[in-house]
Amino acid sequence: MPFITTTDGTEIFYKDWGNGQPILFHHGWPLSADDWDIQMLFFLHRGYRVIAHDRRGHGRSSQSSTGHDMDTYAADVAELARALDLRNTVHVGHSTGGGEVTRYVARHGQGRVAKAVLVSAIPPIMLKTSANPDGTPLAVFDDLRAQLAANRAQFYRDVPIPFYGFNRPGARLIEGVVDNWWRQGMMGAAHAHYECIRVFSETDFNEDLKLIDVPTLVMHGDDDQIVPYQDAALLSAKQLKHGTLKLYKGFPHGMLTIHADVLNADILAFIAE
């Protein structure tokens, strides 16, 4: 399997298929590159080179005890981009991966990035603070940590239900989607996933958003129960120099999986503009 080794000795797994303009996909917590399989096949068949990696501590990458912070995540991506000589790249990030895209493009991507796509993404900041009064209270994230530490396997059965909106009236539970979420989550390291809750909830991306100077598409469902769009997409789009906001009525956090036909077409149209 293909890996790069970062400067601190962490092995980062990645998939790299096809030729053409590269698209690098950044997954959400606590998943892996496999969460992008639908998108990778879609864009591969349309002539793009598609790459996705497992964040450190996730999937097949090293279960490192350190480096669980957004600066290191973005630096790992920079090392991957250099190793694969990725240029004119479109970076697409979902949820925590959207934060990773934001930090990478703002601080490492100069001269290498063509466009960015943030899907159900965590920026500007999730946590409720005096500067972000409409954010999510710390107690919510403390509860996530407690559930993960107590019984990660059951926790990872429970999270996909609101993640994909399967708890909504009339929603059809897709068991394979839940099983695949659980499978990906259990591949990673409990410690890395525990620490990543702090990363995705407390990292402040306000300054990063202001630094991004490439066209950026911000996509969010208005029924996202994990990252409410009012405190995420709406605020991010306002700070981007070249941002485009697209909201999806009734779509959940995991809309890239269960509404892939809609999202893939919109991402393709944005890339091809």
Binned average pLDDT, 10 residues per bin, the chain of 273 residues: 95 98 98 98 98 98 97 98 98 98 97 98 97 97 98 98 98 98 98 98 98 98 98 98 98 98 98 95
Question: Which contacts (CB < 8 Å, 24+ apart) does range 202-206 have?
Answer: 202/125, 202/126, 202/127, 203/69, 203/70, 203/99, 203/103, 203/122, 203/125, 204/124, 204/125, 205/99, 205/102, 205/103, 205/122, 205/123, 205/124, 205/125, 205/236, 206/123, 206/124, 206/125, 206/239
Characterise 243 by phi-psi region: left (phi > 0), alpha (psi -120 to 50), beta (else). Answer: beta
Q: Whose CA is closest to 52, among 99, 5, 84? A: 84
H helix or E strand, kind and range, residue 215:
none
CA distance linking residue 68 with residue 100, whole number of Å = 12
**Confidence at residue 1, expressed as pLDDT on a 0 to 100 scale:** 74
Residue 260: alpha-carbon gap to chain centroid: 15
Residue 95 φ then ψ, to 5° = 60, -120
Collect all residues with Cβ–Cβ distance below 8 Å to 161 and sequence separation of at least 6. Answer: 167, 173, 178
Task: Kindly give the interhelix angle for 138-158 and 175-187, rounded to the nearest 10 degrees.
Answer: 110
CA distance linking residue 208 with residue 126, whole number of Å = 15
**Confidence at residue 96, expressed as pLDDT on a 0 to 100 scale:** 98
Buried b / exposed e over 101-122, threshold 16 CB at 10 Å, is bbbbbbbbbeebbbbbbbbbbb
CA distance linking residue 205 with residue 63, whole number of Å = 26
CA distance linking residue 246 with residue 256, whole number of Å = 14
The edge-to-edge listing of strands for the beta sheet with 11-17 is 3-5, 11-17, 49-53, 22-26, 89-94, 113-119, 216-221, 243-248
Which residue type does 57 have? G
**DSSP structure class, residue 29:** T
Return the SS3 of 254.
coil
**Confidence at residue 208, expressed as pLDDT on a 0 to 100 scale:** 98
**Confidence at residue 88, expressed as pLDDT on a 0 to 100 scale:** 98
Residue 117 φ then ψ, to 5° = -130, 125
Tell me the pTM. Answer: 0.98
- Taking residue 145's Cβ as centre, other Cβ atoms within 10 Å add up to 15
CATH 3.40.50.1820 fits 3-272, yes or no: yes
- Catalytic residue IDs: 95, 224, 253
